[in-house]
Amino acid sequence: MERQRLDKWLWHARVVKARTSAAALVEAGHVRINGLREIAPGHAVKAGDVLTIALDRSVRVLKVIGFSERRGDAASARVLYDDLQDRRQ
């Protein structure tokens, strides 16, 4: 798999609890891909894309490094991205 829908990837990576929440987050304009605001939940993300996600009281910056066919546990979700904020601190 080379690409995946943005809302599906956010859900598989456990950024949100439900895929509908992921779609709403994107439609509200709270997600940027490589610095550009994206409002289409069906937009395809690819490995190497950097997502900036504004959540309730925080901002996460994640680099896409993998994809999953199914939503797994937290450990399997963690291998889908590289948290770029970990490097800053």
Q: What are the boundaries of each domain within the chain?
A: 3-88
- Homologous superfamily (CATH) of 3-88 is RNA-binding S4 domain (3.10.290.10)
Contact status, residue 67 vs residue 23, Cβ threshold 8 Å: no
pLDDT 10s digits, 23-81? 999 999 999 999 999 999 999 999 999 999 999 889 999 999 999 999 999 999 999 99
Partner residues linked to 81 by β-bridges: 64
Q: Whole-model pTM? A: 0.92
Contacting residues for 49 by C-beta, under 8 A, at least 6 apart: 33, 34, 63, 64
Confidence of residue 87 (pLDDT cuts 50, 70, 90): low
Beta-strand pair 44-46/3-5: antiparallel
Output the CA torsion sign for 53, 58, 59, 64.
negative
